[in-house]
Amino acid sequence: MATKAESRLTTLRVVSYALVITWLIIAAFPFLWTVWGSFKVQGDFFSKADWTNAIYGILTTRETGSAFTLNGYFGAWIQEEFWRNVFNTLVIVFFTVCISLTFGTLGGYALARSGFRYAFWVLMAALAFRAMPHITLVSGYMLPFFEWNIWGLKATTVIVLVAINQPFTLWMLHSFFLNIPKDMDESAMVDGCTRFQAFWNVIVPVMWPGVITTGLFSFLLAYNDYAVTSMLLSKPNETMVPAVASFLGSVQVQGNIMFAVAAVVSATAPLFILILFFQRQIVSGLTAGAVKG
């Protein structure tokens, strides 16, 4: 309940509003600016003379006849074949999320139900693995992968992403399964189920909220990864993020930087939608590890 004293405008309150508003502008402005600018020509997006050009699209109107142009998107998607990278991303992300969740649910369930000391050690090892810089792991993959001729394949990257994802997935699902009462699966076992049958028939039907939250983070990791995908995928198998990065190098030379801008916006748009629909799950997932300790 807000009392009168609480709802009064104090200096402190004004300062705190100002701070939040400043932060929100800083957070949102770059995205709004880039999305808007992606429909302009380069001269407008980088308009040194007059920044309002970027808003009204003066040069865009002069060059294309309309204040909005899809040239950047056409160049990126069709000319530079960005759709291939989108397709690769879909394949890699889909398999990474599915396999990670399968491995993670089994492992997380076992860790949550095992009272033995080694369960603690597995979790500690996972925490240590979580701290390893991905790029150091990548430098360990390169030589063996070249030797075995599996470098550059989508499947290799999927497996690597699954493994890198495991520590986080395991921790999250472990703390989620701890919240499902033990009695549920144990009573099923008293009724004659094996451990796996109890897991399959009793736990699986109720685990989806936790799995969806964890899945979102697996998705984000695979979708946003650069360190692994840029080093381990061959050119035709590249996902969106490394493609965008390599785009930058190649198109800057040709003066087609708007291709890169359009590609960046295309790669970001799905995330906007994801956050829009799953905001609550993302927030609960981010804080799950922290609040429970």
According to CB under 8 A, which residues from 66 to 95 bind other proteins? Answer: none
Q: With helix as H, strand as E and coil as C, how does 138-152 read? A: HHHHHHHHHHCCCCE
Residues 253-282, interacting with other proteins (CB under 8 A): 257, 260-261, 264, 267-268, 271-272, 274-276, 279, 282
Please name the amino acid found at residue 11: T
In whole angstroms, give the CA distance from residue 110 to residue 214.
17
Q: Does 36 bind other proteins (CB under 8 A)?
A: no
SS3 233: strand
**Which residue in 4, 8, 9, 26 binds other proteins (CB under 8 A)?**
26
Q: In this complex, which beta carbon is closest to other proteins, that of residue 129 or of residue 152?
A: 129
Q: Does 144 bind other proteins (CB under 8 A)?
A: yes
Q: Does 111 bind other proteins (CB under 8 A)?
A: yes
Q: Shortest distance, CB of residue 68 to other proteins, whole angstroms?
A: 18
Q: Shortest distance, CB of residue 195 to other proteins, whole angstroms?
A: 5
Q: Which pair of structure tokens corresponds to residue 263?
A: 């590609």
The helix (H) or strand (E) run that includes residue 179 is none
**Which residue in 76, 92, 97, 164 binds other proteins (CB under 8 A)?**
164
DSSP category for residue 180: S
Q: Which pair of structure tokens corresponds to residue 223?
A: 């979708």
Q: Does 115 bind other proteins (CB under 8 A)?
A: yes
**Which residue in 67, 91, 141, 152 binds other proteins (CB under 8 A)?**
141
Name every residue whose Cβ is closer than 8 Å to that of residue 57 and which is 6 or more positions away in sequence. Answer: 39, 40, 41, 44, 67, 68
In whole angstroms, give the CA distance from residue 175 to residue 178.
5
Residues 165-194, interacting with other proteins (CB under 8 A): 166-167, 169-170
Q: Does 114 bind other proteins (CB under 8 A)?
A: yes
